[in-house]
Amino acid sequence: MRAGFKPYVSLAGATALAQGFVLLVSPLVTRLYTPSAFGAFGLLLGVGAVVGSVGTGRLEHAIPVARATADAVRIFVLGALLVVCVASVTTLVLLLLQTSGLLDGTAWSGLPLASIPLLAISLAFFQLTGAVLLRQKSYRRVAVNKALQGICTGTMQIVLGLLGFLSLGLVVAQTVGYLAGCIGGVGRLCRRVRALVTRSHVGLRETFRAFRKFPLVLAPAALFNQASQQAPLLAIGSIFGLKEAGLYALTQRVCGAPLALIGQAVSQVYASEFRQVHGGGGDAVARHYRALLMRLTLIGTPVVCVLVAVLGFGDEFLFGRAWTDLGKVALYLVAMLISDFATTPISMTLSYLGEQRLQLLWDIGRLVAVILVFGVVIYGSLAFEQALLLLSVVWSASLMIHAFITYRACQRHAL
């Protein structure tokens, strides 16, 4: 049987508390940090998100579909080991770049690059822990963790901002928030991991073989996916400056709140229910996917439009004089924000169906499209507003293509 409506309410309520708190303190946070500080934080978080997401080998998405709890715990351990190794290599690469002087004179000059591996590890453990709890249908613990993550992040941003920290304060606050989001259920998880590693045969090699598509195919897809997700911010920071990158980052943060509120709850319950829905055959999966896509579109369109309108009329009043162009940025990105809301919560469907190669091809295609967008921006000397509008159109079109491909894949899987 499906989980019903209660898990959605529980997770959405916790996300509402977390995101509501972050949004509530945003007018104070934006007066403590400049747009340039937000831009620098966006660059660091962007790279950290890439390393953290790819570093686990995307094994957090294998946990919900594992047949046994013991397999899920092995996947957790394997993902944790992988991300620590990837973060260690990332640290060495960053040290080489910093000491070689290659970053001098760029937007990365002077940024606390050592914080990137810490961001990556904390994000990875937050995702892995949440996946195990969802596998156990511990929705309440997941809800508590999500609430703690948002509240701790917002509180630390204020405290460190009052102490005069710049982008480093935002990075530290985000890291602490991710770690706080691992507290709920960590005791039981640690006991299971301890029981596993004390056995004479842990079985990590067999687990890797059984779920090798995730690190070998889905992880490269995630690399392209995260690269295309973070490329706009990185490109805007490099082409137009940290202030413009900060405006883009805060727009994503404010207008992305509904996606975090509803979308994360939908995606988590969708993942935990998928094996049951999948048992009904390809038609059942296709109907479920189409129904969720339509509902998310119908909900997301008015919600995002209202937020964009609020920013258009009240950006300076809400966030301070330094953020007067925030509403204009949101208006140019409205199509991108709506399409993200409608498709992101169910975007892992191809991977759940075993179509990792198809997902990889689409991720590569979207990254190429984003690179071409900013190639046109540079070649045509487009203004910041023109770049945003072009990005929004291309991004929305790519997500529509992904939705169509996913729906057809659902229909093919008559299992």
pTM for the whole thing? Answer: 0.76
**pLDDT at 328 (0 to 100):** 92
Q: How far apart are CA 400 and CA 392, in angstroms?
A: 12
Under DSSP, the state recorded for 211 is T
The answer to whether 95 and 152 are in contact (CB under 8 A) is no
CA distance linking residue 54 with residue 46, whole number of Å: 12
Q: Which of 122, 130, 150 is nearest to 257 (CA)?
A: 150
Residue 110 predicted with pLDDT over 80: no
The answer to whether the CB of 355 falls within 8 A of the CB of 411 is no
* pLDDT at 124 (0 to 100): 92
Which of the given ranges, 15-29, 113-127, 246-260, 261-275, has the highest pLDDT on average? 113-127
Distance CA(216)–CA(214), nearest Å, equals: 6
* Closest to 363 in 3D by CA, of 232, 229, 224, 218: 224
Eight-state DSSP code of residue 204: H
Instruction: Tell me which of 71-75, 126-130, 368-372 is least confident.
Output: 71-75
Residue 146's Cβ-side half-sphere holds a number of Cα atoms within 13 Å equal to 27
Extract the tokens encoding 291: 């129904």
Confidence at residue 158, expressed as pLDDT on a 0 to 100 scale: 93
CA–CA separation, 15 vs 253, rounded Å? 14
Residue positions counted in the chain = 415
Looking at residue 258, its pLDDT comes to 67
φ/ψ of residue 137, rounded to 5:
60, 35
With residues binned 3-state (H G I as helix, E B as strand, rest as coil), the percentages for the chain, rounded to 5, are: 80, 0, 20
Angle between helices 115-135 and 139-162 (to 10 degrees): 160
- The predicted pLDDT at position 185 comes to 73
Could you give the C-alpha distances from 46 to 90, 233, 241, in angstroms and in order? 14, 8, 16
Residue 307 vs residues 148, 322, 327: alpha-carbon distances, Å? 25, 19, 9
Tell me what the pLDDT averaged over the chain comes to: 84
- 405 — pLDDT class (breaks 50, 70, 90): very high
Q: How confident is the model at residue 108 (pLDDT cuts 50, 70, 90)?
A: confident
Q: How many Å apart are CA 289 and CA 283, to the nearest integer?
A: 10
Note the pLDDT of residue 1: 38
Across 24-28, 271-275, 389-393, 405-409, least confident range: 271-275
Cβ neighbours of residue 303 closer than 8 Å, sequence gap 6 or more: 258, 341
Average pLDDT, stretch 298-315?
89
Share of the chain above pLDDT 70, in %: 89
Residue 87 has pLDDT above 80, yes or no: yes
With bands split at pLDDT 50, 70 and 90, how would you rate the model's confidence at 89?
very high
Across the range 349-362, mean pLDDT stands at 82
* pLDDT of 331 higher than 90: yes
Q: Who wins on pLDDT, 68 or 130?
A: 130
pLDDT band at 200 (very low <50, low <70, confident <90, very high): low
* % residues pLDDT > 90 (the chain): 27
How much is the average pLDDT of 267-291? 71
pLDDT (average), residues 294-322:
89
Give me the pLDDT at residue 316, please.
86
Give me the pLDDT at residue 175, please: 93
Q: Which residue has the higher pLDDT, 258 or 83?
A: 83
d(CA 121, CA 100): 25
Weakest mean pLDDT among 2-11, 20-29, 95-104, 213-222:
2-11
Is the pLDDT at 280 greater than 60? The verdict is no
Distance CA 87, CA 47 (A): 11
Give mean pLDDT, residues 172-186. Answer: 88
pLDDT classification of 415: cutoffs 50, 70, 90? very low
Q: How confident is the model at residue 278, as a pLDDT?
A: 59
Residues whose CB falls within 8 Å of the CB of residue 328, separated by 6 or more in sequence, listed in order: 312, 385
Token pair 């979308």 is at which residue?
263
